[in-house]
A and B are shown apart, each in its own frame.
Chain A
Amino acid sequence: MKILHNFLTMGGYAAYVWPAYAVTLLILMGNTIGALRNNRKILKKLKQQLLVEKRQ
């Protein structure tokens, strides 16, 4: 219980430690998701372009 208490309160610095970790997590996740989404987007676009070219 003491460990959990220490973990959550961060010795009174919870208001600083947790937002710092949250912002880091948010940005790292956002970067990954953005990169994956762009990758999927271009794959889709190239596929469509190729289909158009084939039809012509």
Chain B
Amino acid sequence: MKKIDIAVVDYGMGNLRSVSKALEHVAPTKTVLVTSDPEQLLKAERVVFPGQGAMPDCMRELDARGLREAVLFAAQKKPFLGICIGLQMLFEHSEEGNAAGLGLFKGEVKRFALEDMHLSNGDKLKVPHMGWNQVYQSTNNGVAPHALWQGIADGARFYYVHSYYVQPADASLTAGFSEYPNRFTSAIANNNLFAVQFHPEKSASAGLQLLSNFVDWQP
């Protein structure tokens, strides 16, 4: 059986092709497999959980494919990259459809409140938060930025499209944040796990650099 370097979790939603194509682009010698087979996730060296769509649907499809245990295992034991819903579903609960997540981390997934979107200068911010926003890298009390930020400028722009954001109970999980208009967590890190709200696969050179860092990451 051929070695699987990177498994991309296929739970029947969203545009998985974008993620696998971007990974193949940054790691042409690696085997990238898009799969909904729990066995393959367990065999893979690294796991990427991409995401689009709504969290309740995501959780339902995950269970329908019997993927919950394999994803939880990977998120705790292998180099793991969560993207968008792949970040949100790691938490206990989402306001979107009042859905329960995997509960790996304590915290809530909240909707951007429309009342916060009116700025003092009269402008109105739109929801979904769609487009290129700056990501600031956490230095958690003098600790160097995370290995996945290597080669990426602090404040570099990444592409977002989402209406919900994570609010971790443990602030030290936050590896990066953005502002819209209030500060929100846009990346978390924990041992072998890194997860982001933005879409590195659609974020031009900064995004490709992050994916390349993930492929080489030895947590």
Bound pair (A, B)? no
